[in-house]
Amino acid sequence: MDFEDTPEEAAFRKQVATWLKANAPKDAGQGMFRAELNEKESLKIAKAWQAKKAAAGYAKITWPKEFGGMGGTGIQNVIYSQEEAKLSLPGGFFDIGLGMCIPTVMAHGKPEHLARYVKPALYGEEIWCQLFSEPAAGSDLAGIRTRAERDGDDWIINGQKIWTSGAHYCDFGILVTRSDPTVPKHKGLTFFFLDMKSPGVEVKPIKQLSGGANFNEVFFSNVRIPDSQRLGAVGDGWKVSLTTLMNERLAIGGGGGALGTNELIELAKSITFPDGQPAIKNSAVRERLADWYVQGQGLKYTRFRSLTALSKGQTPGPENSIGKAVSAQRGQEYTAFAMEMMDMGGIIYDQDIAPMHAGFQNGWLFAPAMRIAGGTDEILKNIIAERVLGLPGEIRVDKDIPYNQSPGVK
């Protein structure tokens, strides 16, 4: 048992580090300053960087060489991510496209689609988004309502998607629609990709409870999509959607970003409680710090167990599924507790006044999203119960009746 790279891994890490040193932008590594960049500036830097990575094979390490990848292993991918993360480069713009959309096109598209779309996506020239969730269908994705109606060689799309990350700067999107409302819900779906600049597509940012706008609503008014852009057979949209969802990348790169237990301990040392002692000497504070630290360690070493499996060329075990269910709730709790320690002042959100640039307040305000996005806490626990523990699936009262006669559907 150890935490060391194998000789092959160490050699790859060295190769990556050397390449990054020679090729990364000169001012990389100044994380905090880069976070100040606006999205447009970040996107420009990210696109240039993506092109460089793609040319060297690092943009998709696990893809076969014929698609511009490196033909590498899962652990090499993790090693690259770890090394690149040290440079705090603007990123994330291509994750959905290359992690979910393009793999779906690869699995269900025609050879000419692959020839046309894979390379520009890999090089960051074209960015893709995923048009799945709707106002009335989130956890129950198969309940979507956006209509697709056949019109000659085209389909006409009407409806609305929501929570679409990056829709405002994306060039293409993958889209799941309802093409037949008279059959049970999983059977009446059809899957497409489309040009986001098609007439009738309207993207609107969603103002979140945190005040920011990280996601969009996308409206479709008589949008025409050629039938040649259909992925999978008519009525097979659910099957195609599952390919997309199965390609969600292994979230084992490693936390980072938000304030963690170390900052919480520093805060507890710096605040004086009414008894004149630092907060960290208070037994209620100590008990909770211990709980959150231990949970954090548990997540970290669970990731290490998954990495070990990857390193051995195996698929990580089911333990990898606990990550978000634990971390999202934990984050909401400890950020709230940090404010509790600040007493009345905890409510202050001014980053010039609140400790650590209001990082805890900021984390708390965004925490509800973490418990919902990418699978709610409740759905994740269902997944653990069903796929890991083998417990029965939910009873689905709408499974075998026509979609348009299902409860709750107008």
Partner 1 sequence: MNFDFSDDQKLLKDQARKFLTDKSSLKVVRRILDTDETYAKEVWKGIVEMGWTGTTIPEAYGGIGLGHLELCMIAEELGRSLAPVPFSSSVYLATEALLIAGSEEQKQKYLPGLAAGEKIGTLALSEGTQAATPKTMKVSFEGGKLKGTKMPVPDGDVADFAIVVVKTGSGTDEKSISLAIVDLTGGGVSRAPLKTLDPTRNLSKVSFDGAPAELLGKQGGGWAVVQQVLDRAAVLVAFEQIGGADAVLATAREYALNRYAFGRPIASFQAIKHKLADMYIKNELARSNSYYGAWALSTNAPDLPAAAAGSRIAATEAFNYAAKENIQTHGGMGFTWEFDCHLFYRRAKWLSLCLGSHLSWKDKLVSELEKRNAA
Q: Which residues pair with 278 in a beta bridge?
A: 272
The one among 152, 390, 407, 408 contacting partner 1 by CB under 8 A: 390
Dihedral (Cα; 13, 17, 19, 24), 10-degree rounding: 140
10 within 8 A of 82, measured Cβ to Cβ: no
Q: Which is nearer to partner 1, 23 or 295 (CB)?
A: 295
SS3 of 140-189: the string is CHHHCCCEEEEECCEEEEEEEEEEEECCCCCCEEEEEEECCCCCEHHHCE
Q: Does residue 33 belong to the site contacting partner 1 (CB under 8 A)?
A: no
Q: Does residue 252 belong to the site contacting partner 1 (CB under 8 A)?
A: no
Which amino acid belongs to residue 371? R
Q: Is 222 left (phi over 0), alpha (psi -120 to 50) or beta?
A: left
Q: Which member of 39, 149, 217, 248 is catalytic?
A: 248
398 within 8 A of 184, measured Cβ to Cβ: yes
Question: What tokens appear for 175 in the block?
Answer: 């889209």
Q: Does residue 283 belong to the site contacting partner 1 (CB under 8 A)?
A: yes
Minimum distance from residue 379 beta carbon to partner 1 (Å) = 10
What phi and psi values does residue 193 have, to the nearest 5 degrees?
A: -125, 155
Q: Which stretch binds partner 1 (CB under 8 A): 53-61, 62-70, 219-227, 285-293?
A: 285-293
Q: Which is nearer to partner 1, 105 or 310 (CB)?
A: 310
Question: What tokens appear for 149 in the block?
Answer: 């109606």
Query: Residue 192: helix, strand or coil by DSSP?
Result: strand
Q: Does residue 39 belong to the site contacting partner 1 (CB under 8 A)?
A: no
The whole-angstrom separation of Cα 334 and Cα 339 is 9
The one among 15, 23, 382, 406 contacting partner 1 by CB under 8 A: 382
Dihedral (Cα; 369, 371, 376, 378), 10-degree rounding: -150
Q: Which is nearer to partner 1, 108 or 288 (CB)?
A: 288
Q: Does residue 275 belong to the site contacting partner 1 (CB under 8 A)?
A: no
The one among 2, 66, 112, 275 contacting partner 1 by CB under 8 A: 2
105 within 8 A of 193, measured Cβ to Cβ: yes
Q: Does residue 8 belong to the site contacting partner 1 (CB under 8 A)?
A: no
Q: Which is nearer to partner 1, 384 or 401 (CB)?
A: 384
Q: Does residue 59 belong to the site contacting partner 1 (CB under 8 A)?
A: no
Element (H or E) spanning 220, and its range?
strand 215-226
Q: Which is nearer to partner 1, 262 or 405 (CB)?
A: 262
Q: Look up 84 and say whether it is catalytic.
A: no
According to DSSP, residue 250 is labeled P
In Å, how far from its chain's centre is CA 281?
38
Q: Which is nearer to partner 1, 160 or 302 (CB)?
A: 302
Q: Does residue 295 belong to the site contacting partner 1 (CB under 8 A)?
A: yes
Q: Does residue 385 belong to the site contacting partner 1 (CB under 8 A)?
A: yes
Contact residues toward partner 1 (CB under 8 A) are: 1-6, 9, 75, 261-262, 265-266, 269, 280, 283, 286-287, 289-291, 293-295, 297-302, 304-305, 307-311, 319, 322, 325-326, 378, 381-382, 384-386, 388-395
- Residues serving a catalytic function are 248
